[in-house]
Chains A and B, each alone.
Chain A
Amino acid sequence: MMPTVQTEHDFERGVEVLRAQIDKKIASYFSSCVHCGLCAEACLFYTETGDARFTPIYKVEPMRRLWQREKTFWGKLGAGLGMLPEVTEDDFAEWQEMTYDSCTLCGRCSMVCPVGNDIAYMIRKQREAFAAAGYSPEGLQGATRRALEIGSPMGLTLKALEAQIGHVEEETGLEVPMDKQGADYMALLSSMEVINFPEYIESLVRIFDAAGVSWTFSRKAFEATNSGIQIGDSKIAAELVSRVVNAAEELGVKYVISPECGHAYTAIRWDGPNLIKRPYKFEVVHILELLDQLRAEGRLRTEGIETERLTFHDPCQIVRRGGVLEPPRNLMRMVAPDYAEMGDHGKMNWCCGGGGGVSANEEAEELRLKAFKRKKRQLEELNVEGLVTACANCRIVIEEGLEHYGMDIHVTGLTELLAKHLAPPKGKAEGG
């Protein structure tokens, strides 16, 4: 039976799920935390607002209280004597903002905690309980429902994708392979790419054709964005992952390509096998990993370089939480050898402020734009004309932030930038 999105409040169920989230990691993290508060300085929602409630470890206070009451000596004693307050439904209502609006699961706090606590992991776990209790943002509930029922959080249908693909075929003169049995690679998309940045699809088609990649899209599963991960519902996340896995295994592909979307990569590459409780029969590569491999093999060749001053924004889930650190830099150097790195970059980059479902959460819009001031300052320090990134969500959040603050910096995707400089295949170039 297909899982459903919890929209009615069910506090008891939330507590039950919260209790079930306490594993070895969580127990060690709470045992080690000395409330030093350093994580606050790593979180853009705190640094840009000064609001102490947005201190990352404070965001998991409901989970800590439950752990303390049920897993510690003083907690059990205090609870037995009626001296330690229980986790209440009011706590869930109050902490919804800290659990969703003010956290993109970017994991920067997890990189600085002196005792090594992975606070992003803790917040992700707490989201399981909040989603189960129905204390999740309406925008995210809607996106998740559309993902389950229509197949895309933005309501994108197969027909709409096929129409977009028709345009791409017309534009490029190339055939876009669909449901090609036995292809090496099955490419995924995020609906934001299809709706807002269809040039990504065109770039893929042109690069793969030039590099001689055997690939296909699947009509059964083209959407990579996983709203189940963002809202924090593992059953829904597993359902969305299993659609991709079934389609890929039916086509018999060797690899699935995660698109330029951070959480999609986390979902299909790192969380997926654990969600469906088995390894895949294929490998998952991020599009940047594949492009970097094609570069190394001499199959991706570019010509010319960018003359504008550019920088690269690291999508948190691809770089810090995903481990794709060097490929974007190798690829950037192909077309922008003198691109400027931000002060904090790579695994310590600052988030755009809209990941982890925050951009789908209308209630968080004002806060997200405040948090964007961190990215704004990073860009002002560099005085760049253009920003390149590798995540459709980062891209749209940054574009909105730049527009909000009246900054004249254009934003582009890395795959698109490479396609712009794509050199013709050797045979074609030599043959004129």
Chain B
Amino acid sequence: MFLEFVEGPLWYFSAVVFVVGVLWRLVDIWRQPSRTDLAVPRGSGVPGALRTIVTRSWTAKGFSRGATFHLVAGYMFHIGLFVLLIFAAPHVKFIEERILGFGWTPAPHWLFMVASDLAFAGILLLWLRRLMHPVMRKISTFDDHAAAILTFVVMLTGCLALLKSHDSLRAIHMLTVCLLMVYFPFSRLMHAFTFPVSRAYTGAAMGRKGVSA
């Protein structure tokens, strides 16, 4: 009964909030004022934007000193989470049956295990850094912690549901997923959609100056 509710009405409600919320946030950015750059450009903005969207996925040459812990944990978490989200067998099945109507080959069990280890270790290390590093303590807000905790809980309930194959665990996982989806558009998690926009703005501005950013 509870499973039917969270996979039915609650899922649809969360999905609508998620989609509408994300679109609203993106449109809201677009609605803000902007100005055409009147300076004669040295280079083109479009290649600069595209280049920065790609190249900011790794660090600037020589910058890793002093940032290694964060960079390693960040890669672990994001790569692990991506594999879990897109290639975990239950997710592929859910996407095929409930969203897209088609699926793809899921990750083998060993890859799932590696990805979940990476994702769990990554998010815990990042959160630990947020709690302990003086800079992180200074700049972190409630939203930073809430987003981290919610994501961790979703991952944890997902793994439990997969390992035990029990309806109640699956229902709890779906409930946390729905909570995350409702929270997502109004939180820092939005960076998953806005990072190409911010990278593009900076890349274009620097590209016009002839600087590869």
Using an 8 Å CB-CB cutoff, how does the interface string of B144-184 with A read, 1 for contact, 0 for none?
10000000000000000000000000000000000000000
Asked if A115 lies at the interface with its beta carbon under 8 angstroms from chain B, I say yes
B201→A118 contact, CB < 8 A: yes
Q: Does A40 reach chain B (CB closer than 8 Å)?
A: yes
For the complex formed, measure the closest distance between the CB of B202 and the CB atoms of chain A, giving whole angstroms.
Answer: 4
Tell whether, in the assembled complex, residue A117 and residue B135 are in contact, meaning their CB atoms are under 8 Å apart. no
Note all chain A residues with C-beta closer than 8 A to B39.
Answer: 269-274
Asked whether B35 lies within 8 Å of A274 as measured between CB atoms, the reply is yes
B62 close to A343 (CB less than 8 A): yes
Whether A74 sits at the interface, judged by CB under 8 Å, is yes
Contact with A along B24-52 (1 / 0, CB 8 A): 01001110111101111011000000001
CB <8 Å contact, B34 and A25: yes
Given contacts A37-B136, A53-B138, A55-B138, contact A115 B198 (CB under 8 A): yes
Return chain B residues, CB-CB under 8 Å to A47: 66
CB-based contact B32/A22 at 8 Å: yes
0 or 1 for each of A23-58: is its CB under 8 Å from B? (1 = yes): 111111101111111101110001100101101011
* A274 pairs with B135, CB closer than 8 A: no
* Chain A residues with CB below 8 A from B66, complex form: 41, 47
* B115 located at the interface, meaning its Cβ lies under 8 Å from any Cβ of chain A in the complex: no
**Shortest Cβ gap from A29 to chain B (Å):** 5
Query: Scoring A residues 71 to 93 as 1 if CB is less than 8 Å from chain B, else 0, what string do you get?
Result: 11110000000000000000000
Q: Chain A's nearest CB lies how many Å from the CB of B152?
A: 15
Residues in B neighbouring A113, C-beta threshold 8 A: 56, 202
Query: In the bound complex, do residue B32 and residue A24 qualify as a contact, i.e. CB atoms below 8 Å apart?
Result: yes
User: For A55, what are the chain B residues with a Cβ–Cβ distance below 8 Å?
Assistant: 135, 138-139
* B29 with A110: CB separation less than 8 A: no
Given contacts A28-B194, A270-B39, A270-B209, whether A33 and B60 have CB atoms under 8 Å apart is: no
Q: Is B200 an interface residue (CB 8 A)?
A: yes
B42's partner among A23, A117, A323 (CB-CB below 8 A) is A323
Are the CB atoms of B70 and A116 closer together than 8 Å? Answer: no
**Can you name the residue of chain B whose Cβ is closest to the Cβ of A324?**
B210
Contact A37 B56 (CB under 8 A): no
On whether the beta carbons of A110 and B213 are closer than 8 Å, the reply is yes
Residue ID in chain A nearest B196 by CB atoms: A116
Beta-carbon contact of B139 and A115 below 8 Å? no
Tell me the bound Cα distance from A239 to B140 in angstroms.
40
Report how far A283 CA is from B212 CA in the complex, Å.
Answer: 22
Alpha-carbon distance between A24 and B52 when the two chains are bound, in angstroms: 17
In this complex, the member of B30, B60, B198, B200 whose beta carbon has the largest number of chain A beta carbons within 10 angstroms is B198
Known interface pairs A74-B143, A112-B63, A348-B62; A23-B33 also in contact (CB < 8 Å):
yes
User: Nearest B residue to A110 by beta-carbon distance?
Assistant: B202
- Interface residue stretch chosen among B81-89, B98-106, B185-193: B185-193
Which residue of chain B is the closest to A77 with respect to CB atoms?
A: B186
CB-nearest residue of chain B to A120: B202
Q: Decide yes or no whether A69 CB sits under 8 A from chain B.
A: no
| A23–B32 CA distance with the chains assembled, in angstroms | 5
Confirm or deny: A279 has a beta carbon within 8 angstroms of a beta carbon on chain B: yes
B46: min CB distance to chain A, Å? 15
- A29 & B198 in contact (Cβ 8 Å cutoff): yes
Minimum Cβ distance to chain A for residue B3 (Å)? 30
Contact with A along B67-96 (1 / 0, CB 8 A): 100110010000000000000000000000
Q: Is B8 among interface residues, defined by CB-CB distance under 8 A?
A: no
Neighbouring A residues of B30 by C-beta, 8 Å: 24
Cβ of B13 < 8 Å from any Cβ of A?
no
Q: For A115, what are the chain B residues with a Cβ–Cβ distance below 8 Å?
A: 56, 191, 194-195, 198-199
Residues of B within 8 A of A277 (CB): 38
Distance, CA A404 to CA B62, complexed state (A) = 28
CA distance A111 to B32 in the complex (A): 24
Decide: A35 and B202 in contact? CB cutoff 8 A.
Answer: no
Do A274 and B38 form a contact, CB below 8 Å, given A41-B66, A323-B209, A323-B211?
Answer: yes
Complexed CA–CA distance, A58 and B200 (Å): 22
Question: With the chains together, A68 CA to B106 CA distance in Å?
Answer: 40
Beta-carbon contact of A116 and B135 below 8 Å: no
CB contacts under 8 Å to B, within A303-347, are 320-323, 325, 343-344, 347
Q: Which residue of A lies closest to B138 (CB)?
A: A52
B108 interface contact, C-beta 8 A: no
Most buried by A among B43, B135, B191: B135
Given A33-B191, A115-B191, residue A283 in contact with residue B210 (CB < 8 A): no
**Candidate in A50, A270, A273 with the most chain B CB atoms within 10 angstroms:** A270
Task: Output the nearest chain B residue to A275 by Cβ-Cβ distance.
Answer: B38
- Could you say which residues of chain A place their CB within 8 Å of the CB of B38? 273-274, 277-279
Residue B121 interfacial (CB < 8 Å): no
B28, B32, B59, B188: which contacts A112 (Cβ < 8 A)?
B59
Measured between alpha carbons, how far is A343 from B141 in the docked complex, in Å? Answer: 35
A116 to B210, CA, bound (A): 17
A347 touches B37 (CB 8 A): no
Given known contacts A24-B29, A37-B136, what 16 new A-B pairs fall within 8 Å (CB)? A28-B197, A29-B201, A33-B188, A34-B144, A35-B139, A36-B70, A38-B70, A41-B63, A53-B138, A55-B139, A112-B60, A113-B202, A115-B191, A117-B202, A283-B40, A321-B211
17 contacts between A and B (CB under 8 A): A23-B35, A24-B30, A26-B32, A29-B198, A33-B191, A37-B136, A37-B139, A46-B135, A55-B139, A116-B52, A116-B199, A116-B200, A118-B201, A118-B202, A118-B205, A321-B209, A322-B211
> B residues within 8 Å of A by Cβ?
25, 28-30, 32-35, 37-40, 42-43, 52-53, 56-57, 59-63, 65-67, 70-71, 74, 130, 133-141, 143-144, 185-188, 190-191, 194-195, 197-203, 205-206, 209-213
